[in-house]
Amino acid sequence: MKDKIIHEMGIAESKAWEALSGYKFWMFGYHAARWVNLNALLVSSDKFKSPFLAAVKLARTKIDQETGNNDRKGGDLFGEGE
């Protein structure tokens, strides 16, 4: 079962990046969410870091540059240890 989940995660990640590259933001979100949900099915020791972390950091940097706000509150969703 673990191998099937990891295989499906690879497909979801590829489709997410393909959608984003085509300006299909809804589809990116759909496939990225699939990856996150599949990752949640794995045992803690087998979970992967999000492949979308760099994109999230880019978005945060963009927001910080525009707003001057970089004091974030909330959980550490991506295991990045901020």
In this prediction, residue 67 carries a pLDDT of 87
Distance in angstroms (rounded) separating the CA atoms of residues 47 and 61:
26
In this prediction, residue 81 carries a pLDDT of 44
In this prediction, residue 68 carries a pLDDT of 83
Asked if residue 9 lies in contact with residue 39, where contact means CB atoms within 8 angstroms, the answer is: yes
Asked if residue 16 lies in contact with residue 52, where contact means CB atoms within 8 angstroms, the answer is: yes
- Asked whether the CA dihedral 10, 13, 16, 18 is positive or negative, the reply is negative
| Torsion on CA atoms 13, 17, 18, 24, rounded to nearest 10 | 120
Q: What is the pTM of this model?
A: 0.78
pLDDT in tens, 41-82: 999 999 999 999 999 999 999 999 988 877 765 445 555 543
